[in-house]
Amino acid sequence: MKKCKDCNKTKPLIKYPKNKLMKDGHSNQCKSCRNIYRLEYRKRSDVILKRTAYIKTPEYITKQKIYEARPEVKAKINKRRVDRRNSDPLNKIIHNTRCLIINCFKDKGWLKTSKTYKILGCDYLTFFEHLKATFVNNYNIPWDDKYLNLLNLDHIVPLAAAVSEKELIKLNHHSNFQYLWESHNIEKSDKLDWNLTNSHREEFIQYISLET
């Protein structure tokens, strides 16, 4: 048994963190008081500034990359990301859209230099609402998040039509995106198809000056 120097409560040694410098091998501060101290310490403005500056240093970045490259850590990080995407529809949209736009630039041999939301021309929440609206308009079915894994992000005007980086950016404007069932997206392929209703059609035509 040992008395904590902060809360003055007597607790068993298992309630104290280990400390080799102490005679009994345990700190004079119990685990509960240590946790409270750490939380308060991390909230201090000077500590936050110091931490922010440190994580930008090459030393920290290198250490972090080595740590995250460990197989067990990489698996844990990937699982956490997958779990979040499966539980958060908006996070799934953000991830899929970023990957889709980055890959379309890579396929054309160009470098993506702008933030995804700037290329889309709106924030992600607005983009998600737009996609849900295209699904409802295309299929006349009320939206349900359970459809997410069955749908594909489709470019109404296919990216194959772009002959320059500027045109590719315009073709990734949010009004050129729609939700299609996976089978319909595969069937559509690189064809331009206005048969499906899109409530933002006029907005898109005006934006990129296309004629149908």
Residue 158 confidence (pLDDT):
83
How confident is the chain (212 residues) per 10-residue block, as mean pLDDT? Answer: 91 90 90 91 83 86 90 91 85 83 78 81 90 91 88 85 79 88 84 53 51 40
Three-class SS state of 35: helix
Residue 212 confidence (pLDDT):
38
Residue 202 confidence (pLDDT):
54
Full-model pTM: 0.57
* Cα 65 to Cα 48, 62, 70, 77, distances in angstroms: 22, 5, 9, 13
Residue 33 confidence (pLDDT):
93
What is the domain partition of the chain in residue ranges?
2-46, 55-87, 89-208
Contact 18, 41 (CB under 8 A): no
Tens digit of each residue's pLDDT (9 = 90 or more) over 16-46: 999 988 888 999 999 999 999 988 888 888 8
Please identify which residue in the block is written with the tokens 């700037």: 118
Residue 132 confidence (pLDDT):
92
